[in-house]
Structure 1
Amino acid sequence: MSKMELRKAFGQALKHIRTSRGRTQEDFSEVSSRTYLSTLERGLKSPTLDKLDEIARELDIHPVSLLLHTYALHRPDQSIDQILCRVRKELSELS
């Protein structure tokens, strides 16, 4: 399986979550312009951490969920469970 460019994967993940929740780009006017959201969804730009948090809050999801969906698209050879297992292991090693 080919590796998708990370910005494009983020854009697809964002659009998928937004549309699955029945939200339009215009619904995000409190956190960003429709134009900016469109550039994110087309993979032309990457959000800052603050903007990622604002967008996730507007979608009523944890920012990590958006990132996890992104990385699952970016690396289709790894399942969400595999990614979560790795993250859990790495975080437990930090404790």
Structure 2
Amino acid sequence: MELNAAFGEALKRIRSRQKKTQEDFSVVSSRTYMSTLERGLKSPTIEKMDAISAVLEVHPLTLLAATYLVQEQMEVSALVGRLCDELISLGWQD
């Protein structure tokens, strides 16, 4: 699955789970923009992803991780393990 489409699917799933409408994001973007994101037609900037995540009440990394879980169809534990291993190998310690 293409990355923009995976982001859109992850965004829509989280928004639906949170029982939020596209209109609930009016403080950060238009309903039309949210629709284009969910359909995979656009990709957000980091700042926009941060604002969208705030409305969703999740960390921006949760939204990004969900995107890659959709795209790569992998288990949460596999992704988290990989992230931990990579961050530790790059010098970020617990």
CA distance, structure 2, for counterparts of residue 89 and residue 20 of structure 1: 29
**CA-based RMSD:** 0.7
After the TM superposition, which residues 42-61 of structure 1 pair with which residues of structure 2 at under 5 Å, given as runs? 42-61=39-58
TM-score, normalising length: structure 1: 0.93
Runs of 4+ aligned structure 1 residues displaced above 6 Å come to none
Residue 90 (structure 1) aligns with = 86
- Aligned residue for 1:30? 27
- Structure 1 residue 83: deviation in Å? 1.0
Aligned residues: 91
Mapped partners of 1:51, 1:42: distance in 2: 16
5+ residue gaps in structure 1? none
Q: Percent identity?
A: 53
**2:57 paired with 1:39:** no
- C-alpha distance in structure 2 between counterparts of 1:27 and 1:57, whole Å: 12
**Aligned-partner SS, 2:28:** coil
Q: Give the whole-Å Cα distance in 1 for the aligned partners of 2:59 and 2:6.
A: 17
Alignment match, 1:70:
67
Amino acid at match of 2:89: E
**Unmatched 5+ residue regions in structure 2?**
none
